[in-house]
Amino acid sequence: MSAQQSQLWIVDKGVDSRESYQQVERASLWIRQGEVVAFPTETVYGLGGDAFSSQAIEKIFAAKGRPSDNPLIVHIADEHQLTSLTNEVNDTARALIKAFWPGPLTLVLPNCGNVSPAVTAGLSTVAVRMPDHPVARAFLRACQTPVAAPSANRSGRPSPTTAQHVLDDLDGRIAGVVDGGPTGVGLESTVVDCSGAIPMILRPGGITAEAIRDVVGDVTFDPALSESSERPRSPGVKYTHYAPNARFVLVDGSPSFLQSYVNEARDEGLKVGVMTTEGNADQFDSDVVLTAGNRSDLQTVAREIYNTLRMFDEYEVDVIYGEVFAEQEIGQAVMNRLLKAAGGQKVIEPTE
C-alpha cells in the first residue's frame, strides 16, 4: 500500500462498545488483505502483518527500514494458535505459559515451518507471545491468523508507546494504526529460548529473570546480549535500537560528575539535554532537563524511557546525558534499552 495518510482507528480499552468493535473489524480487514497495521500491546505498539504471508512481512521490513536478518515475534490471540506455529511445546514452555500468558513474555520454540521464512530470518525456531492488552487481544482475534509484529517505529528509533509515536515515524508508510491509548509496561517483552535443557533469556523485558526462576528454576543469559556481532536469535538484540536523534551518553556517577559533562558540552556551544528522574531534576543546570519516572520505582522509569527520548528530539538538543540504574529486576531491562539507545556509550566516575 502506498497511502497518502495512514488511517487511524480509535478503540476504547473496553472494546465492548459497538463502535469500538467495528473499528477493530475494519483494522483487521487490512491484515486479512495482506497489509500492515500498527496496534497497541501492554509493552509497546507493534506493526502487524499476517505471519503466513511473505508479502505482508516484506511490507513490515520496508515500512520500518528493518534489516531482514532480524527475526520477528508472532502474536497470537489464544493458545490454540500455537499448533500452527510449533509442534513441540516442552514442560518448561508449558510452565511459563501457565505463569505468564497472556503477558509480556515471548517464548522461542521449534518452528514447524508454516510461517513465512522472513519471520524467522531462516532460523529453526519461532518466537511467539500472547499479549495482555484488551485491544490487542480483540484485534488478533479479528485478524483470524497469527500476526508477526516488531515494534511500530522506524528501525533504530525509540519504540512507540502511543499511537502518535507510530504516526510520527510511519504515517503514510502503513495502512493504519489502532489507537488503544498509551501502553502500560513501556518496554518490549522478555524473550526466553525454551528449546534447550535450560531456558535462556535472549532479551530482558517486562518479566524479570527472578520471576522466571521462581517458575522454572535455573535460567541462563544469551552471550549475544553483550556481543552485538553475533547473528540474532531473537528480536532486539542486534543493531542500534531506541536511539534519539541526538548523541546519547550514559553517565555512571554522581550528579556533579554528570554536570561536568554538561558544562564541557555547553562550553563547546552544544545544546545539551539531561535525562534524569523525578526529584533529581533540580540538581542539573542544562538547556533541557527531562524526567523519566521515579528512581524508587523502576517500573515508572520503564514506562517513560521511550517517550522521554522522543521528547528530546522535539527540543533539538545536540547531546543527551542520562543517569544509570541498578541492573536488578526490571532495572536489567531498563539498562539493556538505555545502553542500546546510547550505542554502548557510557562513562564511569573514577572511584579514587
Q: Which residues are annotated as a binding site for L-threonine?
A: 43, 75, 129, 149, 189
Give the CA-trace dihedral at 201, 206, 211, 217, to 10 degrees: -10
Binding residues for ATP: 66, 70, 125, 151, 159, 203, 242
**How far, in Å, CA of 165 to CA of 173, rounded?**
14
**How far, in Å, CA of 60 to CA of 172, rounded?**
13
Extended strands (E) in the chain = 7-10, 37-39, 46-50, 73-75, 105-110, 125-129, 147-148, 176-179, 190-193, 200-203, 220-221, 247-252, 272-276, 288-291, 319-323, 346-348
For the chain, count helices (H), then strands (E). Answer: 10, 16
Under 8 Å between Cβ of 148 and 75: yes
Binding residues: 43, 66, 70, 75, 125, 129, 149, 151, 159, 189, 203, 242
Three cell numbers written together for 120: 524467522
Give the CA-trace dihedral at 241, 245, 247, 249, to 10 degrees: -50
